[in-house]
Amino acid sequence: MIARNDPCWCGSGKKWKKCHHPFLPPQNFETLKAQYWKTHQIILKTPEEIAGIRAAGKLAATILKKVCAKAKKGVTTEELDAYAMKLHEEAGATPAPLGYGSPPFPKGICTSLNEVICHGIPDDRPLEDGDIMNIDVTSILNGFFGDCSAMVC
């Protein structure tokens, strides 16, 4: 870890506290980005990338809210998945779980019902009174991911 009075990592000859201290505005984004990766393995995002991530998150949250509203007694998790797939398609997005991993995940959302801990696969079992379910929606929009989940009873 670099100390405040150490020479700055950028080679400017200045003390770190006067050059690239985290409370100072960055002198050069690309230099700062490289430093954060080297020091913390953190990839700094541009304002445009942050906007893309935010848009993907908002889409995932919107789809989640709509899918949760349809989770009622008698509805199958397969029907919820089909609805989420339709909403993704209408938005020009891709559901991230679909085809992920090996073996490939077969659905567009995860529905973890009752004793299923996580990443449950939607199926044709109708929801019943007393069921507890986590719905997980992960959307890819313009190359950016948004991920959220909610519990429904």
Beta strands in 9-124 (DSSP E): 94-95, 110-113
Of 70, 8, 61, the C-alpha closest to 39 is 8
- Residues whose CB is less than 8 angstroms from the CB of residue 113 and which lie 6 or more positions away in sequence, other chains included: 77, 120, 125, 127, 131, 132, 133
**Backbone CA torsion sign across 90, 96, 97, 99:** positive
Q: Are 142 and 56 a contacting pair, CB within 8 Å?
A: yes
Tokens 């929801």 belong to residue: 127
pLDDT of residue 57: 98
pLDDT of residue 3: 82
CB atoms within 10 A of CB 125: 12
pTM across the whole model: 0.79
pLDDT of residue 25: 55
Residue 33 identity (one-letter amino acid):
K
Where does 47-152 sit in CATH, by number?
3.90.230.10
Residue 128, Cα to own-chain centre: how many angstroms? 30
Q: Are 105 and 94 a contacting pair, CB within 8 Å?
A: no
Of 151, 126, 118, 139, the C-alpha closest to 55 is 139
Quick one: DSSP state of residue 11? S
What residue ranges do the domains of the chain occupy? Answer: 11-44, 47-152
Total number of residues shown for the chain: 153
**Half-sphere exposure of residue 62: CA atoms within 13 angstroms, side-chain side:** 15
Q: Which residues of the chain have pLDDT under 50?
A: none
pLDDT of residue 75: 98
